[in-house]
């Protein structure tokens, strides 16, 4: 659930808005009607800011968890996965 407030409104009601954010509500702040910032709980912020592994690290972790022994792949296995043509036409 997102609540929307101008910066002036937020200034006058900051303690209430922080309480709402702690409850899990998203508080959107606007300037001249345009969104400029969001107030979120610390829990939500930590989730958003958490380190995410790169694709390669995720692949390596998958291989370690599930094992790839006996899985033999060669370049030929991937040769025809994508067409070499220019793709489809796009009309503008």
Sorted by where each starts, the structural domains of the chain and their CATH numbers stand as: 2-48 (3.40.1620.10)
Cα 80–chain centre separation: 31
Q: Check: pTM over 0.75? Answer yes or no.
A: no
∠ CA 32-44-53, nearest 5°, is 115
Q: Tens digit of pLDDT for each residue in 47-71?
A: 999 988 888 888 888 888 887 776 7
The token pair that represents 76 in the structure block = 């030929």
Structure confidence by residue, pLDDT tens digits, 24-52? 999 999 999 999 999 999 999 999 999 88
């Amino acid at each position: 659930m997102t609540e929307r407030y101008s910066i002036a409104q937020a200034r006058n009601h900051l303690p209430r808005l922080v309480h709402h954010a702690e409850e899990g509500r998203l508080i959107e702040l606007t300037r001249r009607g345009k969104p400029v910032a969001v107030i979120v709980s610390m829990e939500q912020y930590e989730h958003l800011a958490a380190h995410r592994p790169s694709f390669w690290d995720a692949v390596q972790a998958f291989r370690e968890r599930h094992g790839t022994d006996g899985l033999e792949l060669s370049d030929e296995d991937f040769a025809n996965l994508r067409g070499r043509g220019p793709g489809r036409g796009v009309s503008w």
